[in-house]
Amino acid sequence: MITKAKIKHIRSLQKSKERYTHNQYIIEGWRLVQEILKSNHELLEIYFTSEFKERHPNIIADTIKKCPLALEISQAEMQSVSATETPSGILGICKISTGNQS
């Protein structure tokens, strides 16, 4: 279960000022999560619904191996943190890279 404080934090990342304050941004959808995992960007947290996990068990298993915090949340919780009208069922929080990486 996700805490109210974490929900508030994720929602705050929808604002530009908060993204730069926390040095984090949100990605939604499997394609974006997949691209982040292939790149050298740091995926800090991943949230997914049970429905997404049932449809894509291999994707979740691979993602959990590469992410320090992976949490299954309810569809209602996903709806509350998502910026989209119909969430895909997977959402990640990434660290903003400084551009000094090689």
The pLDDT tens digits for 63-97 are 999 898 999 999 999 999 999 999 999 999 999 98
Structural domains of the chain in order of their starting residue, each with its CATH number = 4-95 (3.30.1330.30)
Q: How far apart are CA 69 and CA 5, in angstroms?
A: 16
Full-prediction pTM beyond 0.95? no
Q: Is 100 or 57 the better-scoring residue by pLDDT?
A: 57
Decide if pLDDT at 99 tops 70. Answer: no
Average pLDDT in the chain: 92
| Number of C-beta neighbours around residue 26 at 10 A | 20
